[in-house]
Structure 1
Amino acid sequence: MVVLQREDGLYKPAKNDRRVIGWSSAGAIYDDEVYGNRKDLTVRIALQEIANAQGDVDAYIAQQPEKARGAPMVAADIANRLVLAGRAEEALAALDEVETKGRQDVPFEWQLARVEALEALERNDEAQAFRWACFEQSLNDEHLRAYVRRLPDFDDIEAEERGFAFAQTFPDANRALYFFLCWPSSGEAAKLVTTRSAELDGDYYELMTPAAEVLSTKYPLAATIVLRSMIDFTLESGRSSRYKHTARHLAECRSLASQIDDFDTIRPHEAYVADLKREHGRKSGFWSLLG
């Protein structure tokens, strides 16, 4: 149920019930501020559909309130329509209505719309520079793929290697690991894991579980490090709901240990288990699952 509260003489949804659709220099933009009540929104959508059916870009844009045009997804939608209509300069202007300076959460769709507008204007060098800047900011693999595809032979290999080198030093090691899984490059993922093991967040089991699975085939040491990050997090934080999965991870570590000739800087399996028993021996709910 949406709760209404009185503000400036009007009843508006409570803050927790309001949906953010963008931002401006003054702060968040909420859908109820832009579209008004449900009846207004229904009429506006109907007029947009009519404009779509008639291929009337200007009529479609006219149905977007001024404030909504500062929302990145709305601006990207408008820009894409303008590019298709051969009005790329106007598309860039529409995109520039979004305040992106200093923001790390600019949607991929807005970035892609800007690239396509630049290419439509044959400003290809600018488009490539923007792709690379977006990649450096987000490590979105789609930006690097698009950048590499537009390079001549041999230059594309060099650019890929440069992208990998940048990802290896990206401030967020977990985001970098996700990038290497998406590419995919298990070798680079293993390199990242073994050199930045202390930065892995075992709470990200949605990332660490598939990472360990991918790495276990060729890189048992790296897979072990990933599994241990989840084991350590679960036991140190006392997440008993994860004990069953953690017991399975420890069994996987035991299986991988036979494939590892050199544990390098990490403790061998039996020593690691001994450390766990010393530090978490009282967590009987976990140890009872090991058999």
Structure 2
Amino acid sequence: MCQILASARGDLDLLIALELKKKPHMQDTLGIAAQLLDIGRNAEALEWVRKPGRRTFGEADDGLSPERVSLEARILDATGDRSATQALRWRCFEARLSAGILWEYMKQLPDFEDIEAEGRAHAFALEKSEAEVALQFFLDWPRLDLAAKLITMHPHRWDGGDWHILPKVADLLEYDHPLAATILYRALLDNILDRARSKAYGHGAKYLGKLDLLAGEADQIHPRGMVNHATYLAKLKTAHLRKSGFWAREGDGEPKAPQASGVRRPVWIEDDG
């Protein structure tokens, strides 16, 4: 309440004094730094933005969150230290592959240098060990062609348990990048069958239908070590022969209702998952 009153009065010094009474991990360091920057108290703003302060749950304690770096870079810009600003932004990009930070970095570059920097950033992302983070970057940028390249560079890396992300990515890539889409659909289908996730068999049937449609193009360009669709399907049937609940759905990607009564009834409704 005291801080609300201090803010209403425009008394930033009182607001800061009250903030300092909190435990360090509870202090709104970024909020105070932003307000100090707004009134030109740049040295104090820089001190506050670099304090540990409050963090999002699970955030790495490396001082390189895109939100914090973006603010610190603005403060450094205000002090005229452009080289330190750009070095900080690039360091943050390498650590987090933040599309927003890369965009801020490139905006400060002269013409043509931004093109070279973008190419350097893309090359770094393709070589990054955390392929999932790189994939998100290419989706955010967006460069679907590079997302597809990343997927095909690491065909066995993708976790079919990421059902809240991979189906959407595969759907985006189907038309122009059938091999990358195939890799993701196989990962999703393998996860469903390997774990006998019977409630997801409807989704699995849909993914198998997608694989059937993509096979004509994907089989022509699949890399060494990746089998063609016919071989993949044969192995799938051998490994999961007894999963009749799934194979009953093969053919149209939709579940087949029980036939005992002679009446077809919907028994499964597909959702976004």
Measure how far apart 1:104 and its partner are. 5.2
Q: Which has the higher strand share?
A: 1
TM-score normalized by structure 2? 0.83
**Quick check: 1:213 aligned with 2:156?**
no
- Of the candidates 227, 236, 253, which is equivalent to residue 276 of structure 1? 236
> Could you tell me the percent identity over the aligned residues?
37
Aligned residues: 244
- Of the candidates 172, 175, 195, which is equivalent to residue 237 of structure 1? 195
CA distance in 1, matches of 2:244, 2:47: 63
Q: Deviations over 1:45-79 (max 9, x none)?
A: x22222222222112222224444445x7111111
**Quick check: 1:198 aligned with 2:156?**
yes
* Preserved CA contact (<8 Å) 2:205 2:250: yes
Distance 1:105 1:286, change over 3 A: farther
* Preserved CA contact (<8 Å) 1:75 1:110: no
Unaligned runs of at least 5 residues, structure 2: 252-273
CA distance in 1, matches of 2:96, 2:23: 25
Measure how far apart 1:244 and its partner are. 1.6
CA distance in 2, matches of 1:105, 1:236: 40
**Quick check: 1:121 aligned with 2:121?**
no
**Map of 1:156 onto structure 2:** 114
Q: What amino acid sits opposite 2:235 in the alignment?
A: D
TM-score normalized by structure 1? 0.78
Matching of residues 98-113 of structure 1 within 5 Å: 98=52, 103=61, 107-113=65-71
Q: Deviations over 1:236-273 (max 9, x none)?
A: 22333322212111111111112333323321112111
**Map of 2:89 onto structure 1:** 131
CA distance in 1, matches of 2:49, 2:228: 54
* Preserved CA contact (<8 Å) 2:163 2:188: yes
CA distance in 2, matches of 1:124, 1:188: 30
Q: Deviations over 1:120-173 (max 9, x none)?
A: 111111111111111111111111111111111111011001000110111111
CA distance in 1, matches of 2:85, 2:107: 13
CA distance in 1, matches of 2:157, 2:62: 21
Q: Secondary structure at the match of 1:259?
A: helix
CA distance in 2, matches of 1:107, 1:150: 20
Unaligned runs of at least 5 residues, structure 1: 1-45
**Quick check: 1:63 aligned with 2:18?**
yes
**Map of 2:100 onto structure 1:** 142
* Preserved CA contact (<8 Å) 1:193 1:225: yes
Distance 1:81 1:69, change over 3 A: farther
CA distance in 2, matches of 1:206, 1:175: 15
Q: What amino acid sits opposite 1:285 in the alignment?
A: G
Measure how far apart 1:190 and its partner are. 1.2
CA distance in 2, matches of 1:167, 1:275: 34
**Quick check: 1:50 aligned with 2:27?**
no
CA distance in 2, matches of 1:236, 1:263: 23
Q: Return 127-136 or 228-237, whichever deviates more.
A: 228-237
* Preserved CA contact (<8 Å) 1:104 1:137: no
**Map of 1:186 onto structure 2:** 144
**Map of 1:177 onto structure 2:** 135
- Of the candidates 214, 222, 226, which is equivalent to residue 263 of structure 1? 222
Measure how far apart 1:229 and its partner are. 1.4
Q: What amino acid sits opposite 2:161 in the alignment?
A: D
* Preserved CA contact (<8 Å) 2:52 2:63: no
**Quick check: 1:247 aligned with 2:205?**
yes
**Map of 1:166 onto structure 2:** 124
Q: Deviations over 1:185-243 (max 9, x none)?
A: 01111111111112112222222112111211211111111111111222222333322
Q: Return 188-197 or 254-263, whichever deviates more.
A: 254-263
